[in-house]
Amino acid sequence: MDERNLLLTAVKAADDKRAENIVALNMKGISLVSDYFVICHGNSDKQVQAIASEIKDKCEEMGVPVKRLEGFQEAKWILVDLGDIVVHVFHRDERTYYNLERLWGDAPAENIQSVIEQ
């Protein structure tokens, strides 16, 4: 699966579980960790876990194994490592605190509106 399709699969999975304020940042040339960051949040521990689980399940269905899943039990900041794409699923309060969008403010946002329900 190419990067763009994997990115859209992760975004769609997050949106299917009602993740809020989904943002995809193009990290190429900015970060050595991954080519894209997806950042979103849920409003409860259960929702945060459901978002991360849906992303994991949908990507694995597409033949993309999750390299690492961290923070699932705490459900405050779950990191889903898909290799070239890292998904950050935050609890609402944690997202505000860490503010990754500001930290990586020089990364251009990707257009993901085609897969997000309006």
Averaged pLDDT in 10-residue chunks for the chain of 118 residues: 92 97 94 93 98 97 95 97 96 94 89 80
The amino acid at residue 68 is R
pLDDT at residue 33 in the model: 86
pTM for this entry:
0.94
Distances (CA, A) of 54 to 26, 63, 105: 22, 14, 27
Strand order in the sheet with 36-42: 20-26, 36-42, 85-91, 77-81, 68-70
Residue pair 50/22 in contact by the 8 Å Cβ criterion: no
What are the structural domains, with CATH classification, of the chain?
3-111 (3.30.460.10)
The amino acid at residue 67 is K
The amino acid at residue 117 is E
Alpha-helix residue ranges (DSSP H) falling in 40-90: 45-61
pLDDT at residue 101 in the model: 87
